[in-house]
Amino acid sequence: MSQRRRIPGLFAPLLLVVAAGATSLGTPASAAEPAARARPLSQVVPAPASVSEGGPSYALTPRTRIRVDDDSREARRIGSYLADVLRPSTGYDLPVTARDARDGIRLRLGSKDASLGDEGYRLESGRHGVTITARRAAGLFHGVQTLRQLLPAAVEEDTRQRGPWTVAGGTIKDMPRYGYRGAMLDVSRHFFSVDKVKTYIDQMALYKINKLHLHLSDDQGWRIAIDSWPRLTTYGGSTQVGGGPGGYYTKADYREILRYAASRHLEVVPEIDLPGHTNAALASYAELNCDGVAPPLYTGTNVGFSSLCVPKAVTYEFVDDVVREIAAMTPGKYLHIGGDEAHSTPHKDYVAFMDKAQAVVGKYGKTVMGWHQLTGAEPAEGAVAQYWGLDKTSATEKAQVANAARNGTKLVLSPADRAYLDMKYDKSTPLGLAWAGYVEVRRSYDWNPGAYLPGAPAQSVLGVEAPMWSETLWTNDQVEYMAFPRLPGIAELGWSPAATHDWDAYKVRLAAQGPRMSALGIDYYRSPQVPWPAE
Ligand code: TNX
C-alpha cells in the first residue's frame, strides 16, 4: 500500500528546497509528487541527536547501487540487509558493490569521529546520494534503520509499489543516550517459536533496540535445553499457561536466535528465574524439592508459590550446571538470574541463595543481572538490578534500590506502570493484565530514565527495558498489539537525548510511524492519544 500523506504546512519551506533538488535530478514523477513524499529528516523515531535539514534531496532510481568499502565484510552484510529491505517494494536491483559509483547509497566504516561511539552514525543526504558513516558496524546498522524511516512508508511493503523513493537533503549525526535499550519476551508462560522470536527481533531493530532479554524459565515452563538436566525441557517444557503443548529451544534453536539477534546487532540476555518461579524445574526433578516430592506441572498464572530448596547441596549443582551451559553458549555479557517474587523463600535463605548464585555467574565470566529484589540481598560487584516498581512503590523499597545504586549497582529501568508492555492500555484492551494500572501511550513515554528513581545517581542508569510478560499472549499479532506503539516510545527514551523529550512533538513523529507499521504488517493499537494519519 503506498502512502500519500498531506504536507503539514510547517514543512513547506523545506519542501520547496527538496522539490527543487528533485527536479534538477530529473526524477521521473511530476515536480509536486516527490515533494509530497520526502519526509523531514527529523521525523524519525527515536529522535536523532542532531539534525540539519536542507539542500537537494536524493531519489533512488533503478540504477542506484549500494556501495561498500572493498575490505569490509560487515559493511557488505549490512548493505545486503538494506538491499533486502528495499528491493521488494522498489523493484530495483540495488546491487551491493565495492565499485566506485558517482551516486547511490554509500555505507562506510572507519569514521574517525570518536564522538559517534560504538553505535553512532552520520547520515548525509544530498544530490548524489546518501552516505552513512560509522566507527562500528552497529552504528552503520542503526544508520540504515534511520534511512528506512526517511523513505516513504510504502518502502516496507513486500510487493512492488510506486515511487518516487525520495530522501530529503541534510545531515543527521546521531548516537544513543544509553547503551542498554532492551525488550524482554517471556517465552515461558507461553512458548514462542524461533520464527516468532525472529519476527519480534526485526521489529525491535527498526527502533534501535539493542538487547533481547529472554525470560527462559518460570513456573509454567522451562524453555532452554540443558544437557545435564534433560527433563527440564522434555517434561518441564511440555506445557504452558492454559495447558497445551508448550515447547522449548534445543541448543541449536537457541544458537539460531543468537545468530539472528547478532545479525540485527542485538545482544541476547538469557534469564533463568531463581530461586522462585521454578515450578517447572521442581516438577521435573524431585530431588530439587526440600521434601523430595515433585509437584505437578502448573498451567495457571499465580506467582510466588515455588522455591528451590536453599539448604540442599544438589540445588547448587543444578545452578552451576545450568549457568555453565547457558554461559558457554551465550556471547553476551549478561546472565539474568531473576530473583523476583520469591515469596516462598524465607528472607535469610533468599540472601544466602543469591550470594551463591551470583558467584556462579561470575565464575562463568558473566555479569549478574537480577530483578531489583536483588538489592534486598547483597548485589555482587558490577551487578545490574532491573527496577520494575511503580510510581506508588513504597519510598523504602525505592530507597533500597537507590542506595544500592549509590554503592555501585547499575540499573536498568522497567517501571511496570510505564514500561510493561503486557499492561492494558485502558479498560477496553482485550489482552494483557492491569495489576500495575492502565498504561496508555503517553504514560509509557512521558518519564525520564535519568531522573526516575529518587536518590539514584544518573550515572548508575545503564538504560531502559520494556518487558512483555506472556500470561495472556501467544501470537505475534498479540505481541505486536501490546508492543506497538509503546515499544518505540521506550526505545526513544533509551536512545534520544533528554533535550528532545516532548510528548507533543513525539506524538506527531509517532503518528508518522502508523503507515510504516501497517506496511510492515504490524497490528498496532490505534491509541486515541496519537494523531494517526488516515490510511
Ligand atoms: C510480575 S515483573 C512478574 C512476572 C509477571 C508479571 C506480569 C516480575 C519481575 N515478575 O512474574 O509475569 O508481573 O505483569
The protein residue with its alpha carbon nearest to ligand 1, atom 9, reads: 340
- Which atom of ligand 1 lies closest to the CA of 338? 9
The residue whose CB lies within 8 Å of the most ligand 1 atoms, and thus the one to mutate among 215, 341, 424, is 341
pLDDT single digits (tens) 367-405:
999 999 999 999 999 999 999 999 999 999 999 999 999
Ligand 1 in reach of 431 Cβ (< 6 A): no
The protein residue with its alpha carbon nearest to ligand 1, atom 6, reads: 469
Ligand 1 in reach of 304 Cβ (< 6 A): no
Residue with cell 554509500: 106
* Interatomic CA distance for residues 278 and 283, integer angstroms: 9
Ligand 1 in reach of 420 Cβ (< 6 A): yes
Distance 469 CA to ligand 1 centre (A): 7
Distance 186 CA to ligand 1 centre (A): 9
Q: CB atoms < 10 A from the CB of 499, how many?
A: 9
* Interatomic CA distance for residues 200 and 205, integer angstroms: 9
What confidence category does residue 71 fall into, taking pLDDT thresholds of 50, 70 and 90? Answer: confident
Distance 145 CA to ligand 1 centre (A): 31
Q: What is the mean pLDDT of residues 67-81?
A: 93
Distance 326 CA to ligand 1 centre (A): 22
The residue whose CB lies within 8 Å of the most ligand 1 atoms, and thus the one to mutate among 213, 465, 469, 474, is 469
Distance from CA of residue 235 to its chain's centroid?
30
Per-residue confidence (pLDDT) for residue 143, from 0 to 100? 98
Ligand 1 in reach of 341 Cβ (< 6 A): yes
pLDDT single digits (tens) 176-195:
999 999 999 999 999 999 99
Q: What is the mean pLDDT of residues 442-456?
A: 97
Distance 468 CA to ligand 1 centre (A): 9
Per-residue confidence (pLDDT) for residue 32, from 0 to 100? 35
Kindly tell me if the per-residue pLDDT of 26 is higher than 90. no
pLDDT single digits (tens) 230-257:
999 999 999 999 999 999 999 999 999 9
Find out whether 109 and 72 touch, Cβ atoms under 8 Å: yes
Q: What is the mean pLDDT of residues 411-426?
A: 98
Find out whether 104 and 65 touch, Cβ atoms under 8 Å: yes
- Please state, rounded to an integer, the average pLDDT across all residues of the chain: 93
pLDDT single digits (tens) 191-233:
999 999 999 999 999 999 999 999 999 999 999 999 999 999 9
What percentage of the chain carries pLDDT values higher than 90?
90
Kindly tell me if the per-residue pLDDT of 2 is higher than 60. no
What confidence category does residue 39 fall into, taking pLDDT thresholds of 50, 70 and 90? Answer: confident
Distance 391 CA to ligand 1 centre (A): 16
Q: Which three cell numbers stand for residue 269?
A: 540476555
Per-residue confidence (pLDDT) for residue 70, from 0 to 100? 79
End-to-end CA distance of the chain: 9
Kindly tell me if the per-residue pLDDT of 14 is higher than 60. no
Ligand 1 in reach of 469 Cβ (< 6 A): yes
What is the Cβ-side half-sphere exposure of residue 328, based on CA atoms within 13 angstroms?
A: 10
Please report which helix (H) or strand (E) contains residue 66, including its range: strand 66-68
Q: CB atoms < 10 A from the CB of 102, how many?
A: 8
Distance 467 CA to ligand 1 centre (A): 9
Kindly tell me if the per-residue pLDDT of 20 is higher than 50. no
What percentage of the chain carries pLDDT values higher than 70?
93
- Which atom of ligand 1 lies closest to the CA of 341? 10
The protein residue with its alpha carbon nearest to ligand 1, atom 11, reads: 303
pTM: 0.93
The protein residue with its alpha carbon nearest to ligand 1, atom 13, reads: 469
Per-residue confidence (pLDDT) for residue 16, from 0 to 100? 31
Q: Which three cell numbers stand for residue 242?
A: 492454559
Sign of CA dihedral 327, 329, 333, 338: negative
Cβ within 8 Å of residue 162, ≥6 positions away: 2, 154
- Which atom of ligand 1 lies closest to the CA of 469? 12
What confidence category does residue 8 fall into, taking pLDDT thresholds of 50, 70 and 90? Answer: very low
Could you give phi then psi for residue 109, rounded to 5 degrees? -95, 170
Query: Hey, is 444 helix, strand or coil?
Result: helix
Per-residue confidence (pLDDT) for residue 25, from 0 to 100? 32
- Which atom of ligand 1 lies closest to the CA of 435? 14
pLDDT single digits (tens) 309-364:
999 999 999 999 999 999 999 999 999 999 999 889 999 999 999 999 999 999 99
Distance 277 CA to ligand 1 centre (A): 10
The protein residue with its alpha carbon nearest to ligand 1, atom 8, reads: 340
Ligand 1 in reach of 422 Cβ (< 6 A): yes
Would you please indicate which residues are annotated as catalytic (active-site) residues? 341
Angle (CA) 523 486 277, round 5°: 95
Q: CB atoms < 10 A from the CB of 107, how many?
A: 29
Ligand 1 in reach of 387 Cβ (< 6 A): no
Distance 70 CA to ligand 1 centre (A): 48
Ligand 1 in reach of 303 Cβ (< 6 A): yes
The residue whose CB lies within 8 Å of the most ligand 1 atoms, and thus the one to mutate among 185, 272, 340, 374, is 340
The protein residue with its alpha carbon nearest to ligand 1, atom 10, reads: 340
Q: Which has the closest alpha carbon to 53: 86, 5, 21, 90?
A: 21
The protein residue with its alpha carbon nearest to ligand 1, atom 7, reads: 469
The protein residue with its alpha carbon nearest to ligand 1, atom 12, reads: 469
Ligand 1 in reach of 101 Cβ (< 6 A): no
pLDDT single digits (tens) 96-123:
999 887 789 999 999 999 999 999 999 9
Q: Which domains are seen in the chain, by residue range?
A: 34-174 (3.30.379.10), 190-465+482-495 (3.20.20.80)
pLDDT single digits (tens) 475-518:
999 999 999 999 999 999 999 999 999 999 999 999 999 999 99
Q: Which has the closest alpha carbon to 43: 186, 140, 148, 124?
A: 148
Kindly tell me if the per-residue pLDDT of 10 is higher than 80. no
Query: Hey, is 387 helix, strand or coil?
Result: strand
The protein residue with its alpha carbon nearest to ligand 1, atom 4, reads: 469
Q: How far is CA 42 from CA 96, 147, 223, 235, in A?
A: 27, 12, 42, 51
| Cis, bond preceding 40 (omega within 30 deg of 0) | no
- Which atom of ligand 1 lies closest to the CA of 388? 2
What confidence category does residue 37 fall into, taking pLDDT thresholds of 50, 70 and 90? Answer: low
Residue type, 433: L
Angle (CA) 526 183 437, round 5°: 55
